[in-house]
Amino acid sequence: MNLFSAFLTVCEKLLNAADVDDPSTVTIYVTAFLLVQALILVTLVVSITAWLFLRERFNGKKEIQSKIYEDQILTWMLDPSPISQKAPRGWKGRLLKHLLNRSISNVLGTERERLLQHYRNFGFLSADLKKLSSHRWWKRLAAVIELDYLQDDLAAPALMMSAGDSNPLVALSSMQSLSALTFAVDSQERLGKILTTLQNVGPAHRFAVTEILTRLARQDGDFLLGPIEADPNGVLGNSCITVLGECRAIVGIPVLQNIVADSARFSDSTVAEAATALGRMGDPRSAELLRLLLTHSAPQVRARALVALSRLVGTEAHSAVEALRADESIPVRRAIFEVESILEGSS
């Protein structure tokens, strides 16, 4: 119902209630209705203007307070002595917590430890850990994000429990935060729990799984071989192959070569990831295996094999390009364009 029809309906109800045919009475009712509408409009305009004014004033105060806190944080970074002040309340406390959290994520060494200790002393870490037990998933997610910036080993046990959260987004974020801590890989039991949880993640969250594995592999990449051997065609196995290539972990070369050599036993995506990983590792002994994939039935595999081969043999990949010149599939055409661009740039 639009405004005009609502106006007519109200006028009709007023006239029926009045039960008169006097035109002056009708004029009075219509005028009163219009005055009420004008009053509502004026009130709305005044309210919006007041809100904009107050917001601008608050933003100015917030900007000034931010500069004060930033100067304090710089002082805390350089001064090892503990502070006795309490955390401010309200929006000032939230602002200090946010600035302190982001400052901790941007510094290293003793400065980071000092700021981290202040974060704990103010009770901000306890507040984040308390939010992890909230009944509202978005509050739990916000707490995990804060802890991911913080990377405090004291939060590791709580994050370990959140890794089994009923909400998949919270669970993945918890594992992503946990994967940056040495706590995650200093125990085979904890690492095994993370990998077991990742086995149940669907393809839609493959990027998150890869990010988690990449963080874990920075500390110890040998664990990536287990999921590949157990289920190379699954999301976790595929992600482990990707991370092996990104980390250039030569320990995985034999496993990847076996996948390429016996490609019929594996899914097309697994073989394609294995080919890409071998190309990144730079072992020329994999070149002959990659040549075999140039005749694979899947265009994606042929394309990945061509790009990987060009990384290993350089200008010798011209023959492989010519062999696939007649291939009309889109992935292969793109791969040929990419390889030729690389070879022209290197010549």
Average pLDDT by consecutive 10-residue portion of the chain (347 residues)? 60 58 67 81 91 88 90 85 78 91 88 90 91 92 91 87 87 86 70 82 83 82 87 89 89 90 91 93 89 92 92 84 89 90 74
Give yes or no for a contact between 197 and 171, defined as CB atoms under 8 angstroms apart.
yes
Long-range contact pairs involving 156-164 (C-beta distance under 8 Å, separation at least 24): 156/181, 156/183, 156/184, 157/183, 158/129, 158/132, 159/132, 160/190, 160/193, 161/132, 162/132, 163/193, 163/194, 163/197, 164/197
> Residue 35 and residue 281: Cα distance in Å, rounded?
78
What confidence score (pLDDT) does residue 330 get? 93
From the list 222, 226, 215, the residue with the least C-alpha distance to 176 is 215
* Residue linked to tokens 């029926």: 16
pLDDT of residue 99: 92
- How far apart, in whole angstroms, are the C-alpha atoms of residue 57 and residue 72? 23
- Predicted TM-score (pTM) above 0.75: no
Q: Where are the domains of the chain?
A: 249-347
**CATH number belonging to domain 249-347:** 1.25.10.10
Q: Are 277 and 239 in contact (CB under 8 A)?
A: no
Tokens of residue 271, six digits: 């073989």
Token reading at 13: 């109800």
Alpha-helical regions (H) of the chain: 3-18, 23-78, 90-106, 109-121, 124-131, 137-150, 156-162, 168-178, 188-198, 206-217, 225-230, 235-247, 253-261, 268-281, 287-292, 299-313, 318-323, 330-346
- Smallest Cα–Cα separation from 266: which of 308, 243, 291, 300? 300
Using CA atoms of 132, 135, 193, 214 in order, give the dihedral in degrees to the nearest 10: -60
Distance CA 92, CA 96 (A): 6
Q: How would you classify residue 163: left for phi > 0, otherwise alpha for psi between -120 and 50, otherwise beta?
A: alpha
Q: Which two tokens stand for residue 81?
A: 């002595």
Token pair in block for residue 282: 């730079």
